[in-house]
Amino acid sequence: MVRAAVLRSADGPFRIEEVKLGEPGPHEVLVRVVAAGMCHTDAMARMIFNGPAVVGHEGAGVVEAVGSAVTTLAPGDHVVLTFDSCGTCPVCARAMPYHCTAFEALNLGLGGHGRAPSATSDTGEQVGNRWFGQSSFAEYCISTERNTVKVDPTVPLELLAPLGCGVTTGAGSVLNVMRLRPGDRLAVFGAGAVGLAAVLAAKAAGAGEVVAVDPHENRRTLALELGADRALEPSEVAGLRGFDFSFDTTARASAMSAAVDALGRPGLCVLVGAGQESLTILPALMPGKTITYAYMGHANPPVFIPELIRLWQSGRFPFDALTKSFPLADINEAENASAIGTVIKPVLLMKEEADG
C-alpha cells in the first residue's frame, strides 16, 4: 500500500489515504516519489472530477522498477516526471510531444487512451491515477517511459520537481516559442511560478528589458529580485508599448488584452493560462502582431529539462527561489497558500517533515 493524497470530491479537501498500485506495464515505470510540485493545473482536476483520484504532475523521484519494454531507464535512476505523449503520431515523431494529437486525452484526465487507472483503495475501489501520466501526489506512482526524464543524480530531487510543468512552461515559452534574443523586450503578465520562470529565462537569454505585472506586492518584489527591470500593478499597464514579446499566464481577458496592446510591430504574444475567459481583438489593431497559445513551452523534455538544470548549476537560472516545501500531509495548506498568492510554488515532500 502507498500513502497518497486522494481527491474525493470536486470541492472537498485532499485526504491522505493508503492506495494499492498495480504493476507497471511494458512501457511504464514505477517511481518512488521524493517531491511533487503543486501547479494551478492540478486544480483543473476539480473541474472535471468524476471519482476519487490522485493528481499531481510535477513529480521527481527514483526509479524502482521498469516494464519489460523500457530501454532508456533503469532502477536507481533519478528522474523528473513531466507531461505524457503518445510517441506514435506524426508530431511526436518530429520530437514535438507538446503538439501530440492525444495530449488532452493523455494528460487532462485520469484514465483513457489505452492507459486505464491502476490504483485501488483499501476497500478495492478504483482510484484514478493517470493525471499527466503520473499522479505524483503519492509516495509511489506509475509513469510512462515517455514522460520520465533521467536527470543528474547529484542535484537534489526536492529542487527539481517544478521542472515537470510550471518552470518548463515559463522558461520554454521564452527560449523555445519566442526564441528571445539579447536586447529584446518582454512584458510578463502574472508573476506566479510560470511568469517568474519566464523572467528568469529572459534575463538568462540577455533580455534588454523585462517588466512583470501582478496584483500581489510580494510577487512584484520577488520579480525585481530575480531580475525584472520593472514590476507593475495591473492598473499601471496602460503605458506599456513597443515590446518584442508579451507573455500572459493569467487567462484573464483584461490581462490578455493588455498583453496584446503592449506589443510593438512585429510582436508576439504567448498565452499559457488555463482559464475560461475569452480574448476579443479588433483585427485592425493586429498588423504585425501575432498571438499563440503554447502547451508546456514547446519543450522536448528529455532535452530541455537537463538544459534548465545546467542553467541552474551555472547560477543563471535560480528557480529554487520560487519554492516553499510542505509535507504531503499539509497538502490542503499548500493548495490554499498557492491559491491566495502567499506561496509562489509549493513543493510537497513525501517524507514526514518539510524543510521550509
The pLDDT tens digits of the residues spanning 196-249 come to 999 999 999 999 999 999 999 999 999 999 999 999 999 999 999 999 999 999
| 265 has a pLDDT exceeding 70 | yes
Task: Say whether 7 sits in a helix, a strand or coil.
Answer: strand
44 lies in the same domain as 138: yes
Residue 110 is predicted with a pLDDT of: 60
* pLDDT number for residue 111: 55
Decide if pLDDT at 351 tops 90: no
252-255, Cβ contacts within 8 angstroms, sequence gap of 24 or more: 252/277, 253/277, 253/278, 253/279, 253/280, 255/189, 255/190, 255/213
Would 304 be classed as within a structural domain? no
Give strand ranges (E) for the chain.
Answer: 2-7, 14-21, 28-37, 59-66, 78-81, 119-121, 126-127, 140-144, 148-150, 185-189, 209-213, 230-232, 243-248, 263-271, 289-293, 323-327, 345-349
Q: Is residue 306 part of a domain?
A: no
C-beta of residue 296 within 8 angstroms of C-beta of residue 165: yes
Q: Is the pLDDT of residue 266 over 60?
A: yes
- CATH classification at residue 131: 3.90.180.10
Q: Which domain holds residue 133?
A: 2-164+318-349
- Residue 243 bridge partners (DSSP): 263
- CATH number of the CATH domain containing 280: 3.40.50.720
Kindly state whether residue 102 falls inside one of the protein's structural domains. yes
The grid coordinates listed for 256 are 490578455
pLDDT reported for residue 274 = 87
Same domain, 152 and 214: no
Q: What is the count of structural domains for the chain?
A: 2
Residue 312 lies in a domain: no
Average pLDDT, the chain: 95
Q: How confident is the model at residue 354 (pLDDT cuts 50, 70, 90)?
A: very low
Model confidence at 352: pLDDT above 70: no
Structure confidence at residue 217 (pLDDT) = 95
pLDDT at 113: 56
186 and 120 within one domain: no
Contacts of 281 (CB under 8 A, 6+ apart): 257, 260, 291
Average pLDDT rounded to a whole number, residues 144-151: 97
Q: Verify that 174 and 157 share a domain, yes or no.
A: no
Indicate whether 17 and 138 sit together in one domain. yes
Query: In terms of domains, do 89 and 109 share one?
Result: yes
Percent of residues, the chain, with pLDDT higher than 70: 97
